[in-house]
């Protein structure tokens, strides 16, 4: 009797161990196959459900219409995580288990950072529509839209219709220029481009001259600089082009429409070149679990439909040369863009940041 009880107990114990091992093996295999489990415990295969996961620095209202179009065209659902900062660090922390397929961001600095958590994408569609200077040499990031960094000049107090960045350091503009922090990524990209055009010594002299011409200590965002022009604190503000559109159409804060009416957009030329350009862009995550779907989304985002929608919603310029900007954006004026490679700008960002500190730019005049 004791032997039978012992044998029965041993049988159940062995059965339990076998079940645990089998379940663990099944779970591991499921994970390796891209299968996840929902809250009820039911298994869901990303390949079967046709999904793509996006980590986005861009605001929901900018990208959700595009994702809806993509899903309607392909049947692939887009799951998005939005954040103002920290997404690249999150992908690094998640490592091989990261669910991220595509990373959307703005500014060459962030795209350069994304390169560390991205993988190369071989696509004839992307290389056809994204200019060489707007993608990395290793095909780890690609531009989606252009934005110019321009001068917002007072209609009432500045007669000049043409300006160069070199002009902004001349004594005639003493105390008349407003600018946000010199360490902000948008300014660092501009300064990096100027280093390439002027050389380090020339740029440092120019930056010292610009500092002397500031109306006060750098503070606030790009729109805050235009507000200062409107209020008479300065005559010239530096900011990105799309803020003009945001101010002109701002119904929640209609006072910004008055700020916009008080200024003109002028496209300052770089030395021996045109207006400084930066980009918004995308990258495929290094461990993208839905790689094929990720590439389909990236290719969709450079399609004619997506380019028109994306650029128009955010008042930017399409990355594709064959697609015109919206009527509103065109109304700000024609210009010649600087042809400098964004990769060159990325490589000079650190030195630009160092020189900003060397001249104590953020201390003001």
What is the tens place of the pLDDT at every residue in 128-162? 999 999 999 999 999 999 999 999 999 999 998 88
Distance, CA of 247 to CA of 237 (rounded, Å): 14
Least confident of 169-173, 292-296, 312-316, 350-354: 312-316
Alpha helices per DSSP H over 252-341: 255-261, 291-300, 304-313, 327-330
First to last CA, the chain: 97
Residues of the chain with CATH 3.40.190.10: 51-145+277-330, 149-275+334-363
What per-residue confidence (pLDDT) applies to 161?
A: 84
The whole-number average pLDDT for the span 19-35 is: 36
What per-residue confidence (pLDDT) applies to 217?
A: 98
Decide the pairing of beta strands 102-106 and 51-56.
parallel
Q: Per-residue confidence at 303, pLDDT binned at 50, 70, 90? A: very high
Name the percent of the chain lying above pLDDT 90: 82
Distance, CA of 365 to CA of 250 (rounded, Å): 33
For residue 34, pLDDT over 90 is answered with no
Decide the pairing of beta strands 142-154 and 177-178.
unpaired
Contact 359, 204 (CB under 8 A): yes
Q: Indicate the SS3 state at residue 283.
A: strand
Q: Per-residue confidence at 13, pLDDT binned at 50, 70, 90? A: very low
For residue 16, pLDDT over 70 is answered with no
- Higher per-residue pLDDT: 160 or 322: 322
Structure letter (DSSP) for residue 182: T
How is residue 95 written in tokens?
């490592």
Least confident of 38-42, 202-206, 207-211: 38-42
Q: Class of 149-275+334-363 per CATH?
A: alpha beta
Q: Per-residue confidence at 61, pLDDT binned at 50, 70, 90? A: confident
Q: Name the strand (E) or helix (H) holding 72.
A: helix 60-74
Q: Which CATH number fits domain 51-145+277-330: 3.30.70.580, 3.40.50.2000, 3.40.190.10, 3.30.70.20?
A: 3.40.190.10
**Mean pLDDT of all residues belonging to the chain:** 89
For residue 46, pLDDT over 80 is answered with no
């Amino acid at each position: 009797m004791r032997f039978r009880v012992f044998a029965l107990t041993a049988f159940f114990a062995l059965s339990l161990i076998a079940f645990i091992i089998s379940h663990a093996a099944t779970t591991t295999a499921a994970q390796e196959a891209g299968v996840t489990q929902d809250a009820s415990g039911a298994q869901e295969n990303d390949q079967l459900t046709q999904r793509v996961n996006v980590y986005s620095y861009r605001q929901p209202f900018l990208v959700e219409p595009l994702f809806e179009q993509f899903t309607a065209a392909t049947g692939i659902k887009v799951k998005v995580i939005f954040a103002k900062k920290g997404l690249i660090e999150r992908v690094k922390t998640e490592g091989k288990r990261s669910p991220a397929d595509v990373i959307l961001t703005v500014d060459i600095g962030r795209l350069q950072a994304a390169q560390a958590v991205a993988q190369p994408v071989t696509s004839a569609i992307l290389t056809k529509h994204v200019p060489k200077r707007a993608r990395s040499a290793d095909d780890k990031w690609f531009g989606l839209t252009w934005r110019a960094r321009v001068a917002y000049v007072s209609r009432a107090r500045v007669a000049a219709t043409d300006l160069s960045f070199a002009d902004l350091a001349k004594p005639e503009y003493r105390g008349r220029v407003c600018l946000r922090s010199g360490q902000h990524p948008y300014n660092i990209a501009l300064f990096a481009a100027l280093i390439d055009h002027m050389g380090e010594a020339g740029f440092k002299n120019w930056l010292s001259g610009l500092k002397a011409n500031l109306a006060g200590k750098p503070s606030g965002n790009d729109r805050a600089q235009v507000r200062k022009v409107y209020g008479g604190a300065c005559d010239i503000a530096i900011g990105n082009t799309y803020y003009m559109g945001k101010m002109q159409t701002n119904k929640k804060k209609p006072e910004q429409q008055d700020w916009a009416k008080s200024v003109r957009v002028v496209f300052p030329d770089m030395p021996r070149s045109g207006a400084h350009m930066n980009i918004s862009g995308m990258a495929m995550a290094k461990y993208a679990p839905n790689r094929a779907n990720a590439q389909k989304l990236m290719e969709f985002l450079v399609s004619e439909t997506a380019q028109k929608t994306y650029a128009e919603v955010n008042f930017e310029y399409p990355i594709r040369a064959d697609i015109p900007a919206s009527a509103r954006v065109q109304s700000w004026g024609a210009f010649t863009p600087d042809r400098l490679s964004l990769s060159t700008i990325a490589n000079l960002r650190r030195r630009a940041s160092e020189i900003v500190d060397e001249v104590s730019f953020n201390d003001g005049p």
